[in-house]
Amino acid sequence: MELKNIVQQLYEIIEDRRENPIEGSYTSYLFKEGIDKILKKVGEETAEVIIGAKNNSKDETVYEISDLLYHVVVLMVQQGIKIEDITTELEKRRQKICNKKPERKEVQSIH
């Protein structure tokens, strides 16, 4: 299955859990707890991606990126951000070429 399709399906499921909470659903729990809990989970999962990558473990990193992606999609739904909003922004960025910021000049000592 294509990443685009699976992410869209995930988004729709998460959106449905927000609108129609299910007892015992982790997603419903996150929405019930609110933005602070969602942001905490995004932060935790981000750190776990970093640890997986530093451990040079592809399997661990893939697992943690999947967790992070899920929690980012929960955040998107919470904030009313559609997948199309992200794709539009990425399309704009793809149009930019050679947009790397220049290196900073060394500060000369003051005498």
pLDDT at 101 over 80: no
Give the pLDDT of residue 111. Answer: 60
Among residues 24, 19, 4, the alpha carbon closest in space to that of 78 is found at 19
Q: What is the pLDDT of residues 22-66, one digit of tens each?
A: 999 999 999 999 999 999 999 999 999 999 999 999 999 999 999
Mean pLDDT across the chain, nearest whole number?
Answer: 92
Write down all domains in the chain, each with its CATH number in brackets: 3-84 (1.10.287.1080)
Place of tokens 């000049």: 105
pLDDT at 100 over 80: no
In the three-class reduction of DSSP (H, G, I as helix; E, B as strand; rest coil), residue 61 is classed as: helix
Helix, strand, coil shares of the chain as percentages rounded to 5?
70, 0, 30
For residues 5 and 48, the model is more confident at 48
pLDDT band at 15 (very low <50, low <70, confident <90, very high): very high
